[in-house]
A and B are shown apart, each in its own frame.
Chain A
Amino acid sequence: MNQPLKQHLIDPEICIRCYTCEAACPISAITHDDNNVVVDAEKCNFCMDCISPCPTGSIDNWRVVMAPYSLDEQFSWDELPAQSALSGEAGGADTSIEALDENVAALLAEAHKGAGGKARAPASASKPTINLYNLSKPAMATVQGNYRLTGEASDTDVRHIILDFANLPFPMLEGQTIGIIPPGLDAEGKPHLPRLYSLSSPRDGERANFNNLSLTVKREPDGVCSTYICNLRKGDKVAVTGPFGSTFLLPCDPQAKLLMICTGTGAAPFRGFTMRRQRENPHLKGHLSLYFGARSPHDLPYFGPLAKVPDAFLGKYFAFSRQADLPKQYVQDRLRATRDHVATLLRDNDTYIYICGLRAMENGVEEALADIARGIGLDWVKLRDTMREAGRYHVETY
């Protein structure tokens, strides 16, 4: 057992010993002595019932450890031990750990590398939970629905999949990803590794206050996992790992303005962002802008539902590259065509930029942003790096 694990701990310097968490815990994993209130690592199942009742925030502490701290160790603490540096890169600041599995961490690092430096979460983002479930202990979800999102005329098959976790705790934030394990064995006779998919629903469920989530998956020719997922039927059981990802997250600050740029299934996290905002702050106007590229309207996932979101709430800028009789247009062209709007956003310290989709879009989008920045006398690389350091610039491409 060399796998590091995540342990839930309480900060004894901040805790006021009100024992509200102890009363809230449904499985009696929290206990106390005269000194401290502590969490039993053997019992805690990360259901998070204790997090919001805590008045101090002391409950929301996590350490990645090779062996969990015992109850007696925790009882003896006057302060929380620092995160000890694990081998390699896994140590350091806790929010920078996107996943504990090396494979998943590598995949996410690869997806985020287009940001030009180490990704950081928005300052006001909620704390993500990562790695609750892994290959040896996956979560079992039930398929609640599987709907085609692209028009009949389209030759791409993009699907909206709803997974239900029933009573199993599966805390997610918009922008996080989960792993899906296709059944069966690969060519070498080994079980398949999980493939990563972005969540497309908000944290409180595809349907509010239901323990379910949705994914946006495109059927890839010869794709083992995408074929498996796209063929799922209602009632099928699916093995899920995760959640993963601790930087590509939504700021909670209602003043934050989001510039969301995507192609194809890269729209998934932005659907989650938009729905979260609709549920939390439905009256905000002019805070969300979505630049969305596809070949044609019937190739664009969620084209119908998107049309119903008021423009005042979500500014929509579609770019279609294969529409009969019209010149090819890509997202970077739409950015340039609306340069005044983009420039206003670039000047605003409350703006957060998110780019998600195919790797091929990255260069074009960045060049467009650089041009628009230059037009208003800003140095793009400097601006981008400042924004990234502040958790305001995010790239996830594949």
Chain B
Amino acid sequence: MLDLINVSYDTQIPNNVGLSTDKRVLKALEKWHPGYISWWNDLIPRDFQESLVYLRTAVSVDPKGWTKFDYVKMPEYRWGILLAPQIADRKIPCGEHAGDAAWQDVPGEYRAMLRRLIVIQGDTEPASVEQQRFLGRTAPSLYDMRNLFQVNVEEGRHLWAMVYLLHKYFGADGRDEADDLLRRSSGSQEAPRMLGAFNEETPDWLSFFMFTYFTDRDGKMQLESLAQSGFDPLSRTCRFMLTEEAHHMFVGETGVGRTIEQTCLMMKKAGIDDPFDINRIRALGVIDLPTIQKKLNLHYTLSLDLFGQEVSTNAANAFNAGIKGRYMESKINDDHRLNGDTYKVWNFVDGKMVQQDVPALTAINMRLRDDYTRDAAGGIGRWNKIIEKLGINFAMKLPHEAFNRKIGVFSGKCFDPDGMIITQPAFEAGIREWLPTRADGDFIQSLMKPCFTPGKFAGWIAPPKVGIDNQPGDFEYVKLHMA
């Protein structure tokens, strides 16, 4: 009998899907593997490839086995194919087939739609590794460097997860798509990544933390909705990915939190009470709170654009087909079909913003975006508790969802961060206060000095409260191999 909990190492590719008995897919993956390794090797600077990084690797997909910590050279990380355990008698949770047995194979009528969703999800995974490729050099500590590399190898694994589905269930088309996932490249002119936000370089560590907090959280919401899929292999893949995604949320939330904490601590120490006394605060070698708020504004609004149009027939079709559910679909108490239900969506009537009821089916994206905003707001509250505890009079906040949008009903119009519609000149005058300027970026960049002594941290960021895997403060999370 196949052991579907413990990870099997009897092929080159660790897996819990019985790969050794599935010669066709094994062969296809083994053919894809060298391309992946050379993609990885070309990406991360060589010094770091040779360094020993304290990483977690899954040895089984049950709670006790999936976080085994050890020193690993990144190119030797055991990327593998891990699906959450199958739930017996799982049913399609939503749409017109709700209540039917979940599909174990791709239903022919939804083949193209499913492939498209898997490719889009898969494309974001290597993209973020590409965006973050140079950050290791300016890591504020070995602890942070380890967290970056953990995020990177797991994004790599998530690519594997999607590639497995393409190879296993989509034949020749799937193989072509899998190859294209390695051909496209973040920021490339000729073959860019599919989504705009994934073609911007991540220039500094605050951007990285903001990216993992806001943009990876969009990824989390997409995974949550795919975890509800009636196509069971996709659901199981995404459920296991979500457990890993939690670490990425952690890196973002605590990274921003520690940056804020250090700023407040240094302000207190220097006797500065006014958070807007920016020049004096910057002279302390920390990032002032208003600039952190500007970074927040930018990353939040870019991430909102990833949810697409507020009203979308594609999203309606995917839900109706049972391919993609809502956030926490199984915990929502309704008929899971949404025929006749409505949902409130922003729209413009006579130049004014109004909330209109639209058929709930077409507002699936909007609903997921609202769930996202609620989820993202939680961390802001916890950051504010840090500021409050250190006695600084300042509070971070999420800007209005109309601000700085390029996609959806708000695009092409000017709003301030409170959601007031304003004129183009007023917007251009205010933008320096609302979004990071080049000078802000240059200042942040000037702080990005590496700190590679175990237990030490760059001056702009506070140490974490708890070590990874309960390790003590001066633990050597990365044993550097610097040629």
Contacts and interface: CB of A to CB of B under 8 A. Distances in A.
Interface in B22-74: 60, 62-67, 70-71
Given A48-B64, A123-B472, A124-B471, A13 B465 contact: yes
Most A CB atoms within 10 A — which of B63, B65, B472? B63
Interface residues of B, number: 31
A60 B467 CA distance: 12
Contact of B470 (A48, A127, A280, A281): A127
Interface in A1-35: 13-14, 16-18, 20, 23-24
B243 A20 contact: yes
Contact of A18 (B60, B246, B471): B246
Contacts of B60: 209
A126 interface: yes
B67 A56 contact: no
A24 B63 contact: yes
Contacts of A254: 70-71
A281 B249 CA distance: 30
Contact of B64 (A18, A52, A124, A281): A52
Nearest to A57: B466
B472 A56 contact: no
A53 interface: yes
A169 B63 CA distance: 13
A186 interface: no
A340 B207 CA distance: 54
Given A13-B465, A14-B465, A52-B64, A20 B246 contact: yes
B63 A49 contact: yes
B479 to A, nearest CB: 10
B169 interface: no
Nearest to A16: B253
Given A14-B465, A50-B63, A126 B243 contact: no
Contacts of A78: 385
Most A CB atoms within 10 A — which of B246, B249, B378, B379? B246
A56 B469 CA distance: 9
A81 interface: no
Contacts of B466: 14, 56-58
A266 B329 CA distance: 55
B476 to A, nearest CB: 9
A109 B77 CA distance: 44
Contacts of B379: 16-17
Contact of B250 (A16, A50, A127): A16
Given A53-B243, A57-B470, A78-B385, A209 B6 contact: yes
A55 interface: yes
Contact of B63 (A13, A52, A58): A52
A55 B254 CA distance: 11
A52 B67 contact: yes
Interface in A102-144: 123-124, 126-127
Interface in B53-108: 60, 62-67, 70-71
B134 interface: no
A17 B378 contact: yes
B290 to A, nearest CB: 24
Contact of B467 (A16, A17, A57, A281): A57
Contacts of A17: 378-379
A53 B472 contact: no
B247 interface: yes
B346 interface: no
Contacts of B465: 13-14
B250 A60 contact: no
A78 B381 CA distance: 11
Contacts of B246: 16, 18, 20, 53-55
Given A14-B465, A57-B467, A280-B70, A49 B64 contact: yes
B343 interface: no
Given A17-B378, A49-B64, A55 B249 contact: yes
Given A14-B466, A16-B379, A124-B475, A53 B249 contact: no
Contacts of B382: 13, 16
Contacts of B70: 254, 280-281
Interface in B234-267: 242-243, 246-247, 249-250, 253-254
Contacts of A58: 466
A280 B68 CA distance: 9
Contacts of A56: 250, 254, 466
A209 B59 CA distance: 11
A57 B250 CA distance: 10
Contacts of B62: 49
A149 B246 CA distance: 47
B67 A124 contact: no
Given A60-B470, A78-B385, A53 B71 contact: no
A31 to B, nearest CB: 12
A203 B192 CA distance: 48
A386 B471 CA distance: 20
B254 A16 contact: yes
A53 B63 CA distance: 6
Nearest to A12: B382
Contacts of A253: 475
Given A53-B246, A78-B385, 20 more contacts: A13-B382, A14-B465, A16-B249, A17-B378, A20-B242, A20-B243, A23-B242, A51-B63, A52-B64, A52-B66, A53-B63, A53-B67, A53-B243, A55-B247, A56-B250, A57-B466, A57-B468, A209-B6, A252-B471, A254-B70
25 contacts: A13-B465, A14-B466, A16-B379, A17-B378, A20-B242, A20-B246, A24-B63, A24-B243, A48-B64, A49-B63, A49-B64, A51-B63, A52-B64, A52-B66, A52-B67, A53-B63, A53-B66, A53-B246, A55-B247, A56-B254, A57-B467, A123-B472, A126-B470, A254-B71, A281-B70
Interface of B: 6, 60, 62-67, 70-71, 242-243, 246-247, 249-250, 253-254, 378-379, 382, 385, 465-472, 475
5 cross-chain pairs, A with B, having the tightest CB-CB distances, nearest first: A55-B250, A49-B63, A57-B466, A18-B246, A55-B247
Interface of A: 13-14, 16-18, 20, 23-24, 48-58, 60, 78, 123-124, 126-127, 209, 252-254, 280-281
